[in-house]
Amino acid sequence: MIRETWTHFIQGYYICQSCEVVDRDNNRSIVGYKCPRCSIPSPGGNIYYDITVGAIADLIAGFYPLPDLDSSSSTGPIPDPPESHRLAILVFFCTLGEVLLQQYLERGMIRLGLPLEIQNRLLQDNMFTTKRIQRLFPILTGVPWQEAVKTVSKRAKTDFKKTVDFYIEANGKRNLLLHLGNKWAVPSDMAKQCFDNIAPLIKLFVEFHNTYLVKPI
């Protein structure tokens, strides 16, 4: 049995080229298929996420020791990855969040019709995740980050605040590791938490998009 890669999973998110709603309806790849939301026939499939997102998620999976699905030992406990792998998983997980946030902000700026040079300047003036969440996100979305997380959590019936809180914690640990060389600041179970939060983090930004960036019909 072949295990699905994160790239394959992520490429299952399609965006309607008319109303720009995002879902996992692979019928959108069929020319002429009518969007269930706007009823406009599809000109063909358009994958929502950049291939970079899948590649980073697959890097995390490559360092995380999942058992072979065909192995008789697959029901046993999953061994902890070595320290070097745990640290790599943390760095890649934080990078995944940064890429997801930047791609969302870029789509928001495009939605507002901002010129490319203005988009680049805004991103450069707000290089760090904290500034992008506190300054750029509310401007492009119309609501503060915390309110948006509550809204999409209720809409999706998923506790995204839990994922966001973990990401902020992980980002702080990553900074201590990279800037101060403090590998002891990274708990031994953080690698598993990073792996477990890949899917919720990806889905969070889909919900942000569908709540704040889709075109009205």
Question: pLDDT value at position 84?
Answer: 83
Judge contact between 87 and 182, C-beta under 8 A: no
- Report, as an integer, the average pLDDT of 109-114: 94
pTM (2 d.p.): 0.89
The pLDDT assigned to 12 comes to: 93
On the question of pLDDT at 21 being above 50, the answer is: yes
173 falls in which pLDDT band (50, 70, 90)? confident
Reported confidence tier of residue 184, pLDDT bands at 50, 70, 90: low
User: What are the residues facing 203 on neighbouring strands?
Assistant: none
What's residue 3's pLDDT? Answer: 56
pLDDT, one tens digit per residue, over 152-163 is: 999 999 999 999
What is the average pLDDT value for the chain, to the nearest integer? 89
Across the range 195-209, mean pLDDT stands at 96
CA 81 vs CA 90, 122, 125, 167: distances in Å: 12, 39, 37, 20
| Per-residue confidence (pLDDT) for residue 68, from 0 to 100 | 53
Contact assessment for residue 201 and residue 100, using Cβ atoms and an 8 Å cutoff: yes
3-state secondary structure 102-120: HHHHHHHHHHCCCCHHHHH
Residues of the chain above pLDDT 90, percent: 72
pLDDT at 2 over 50: no
Each residue's pLDDT tens digit, 130-139? 999 999 999 9
Report whether 214 contacts 109 (CB < 8 A): no
**Given a cut of 50, is residue 128 above it in pLDDT?**
yes
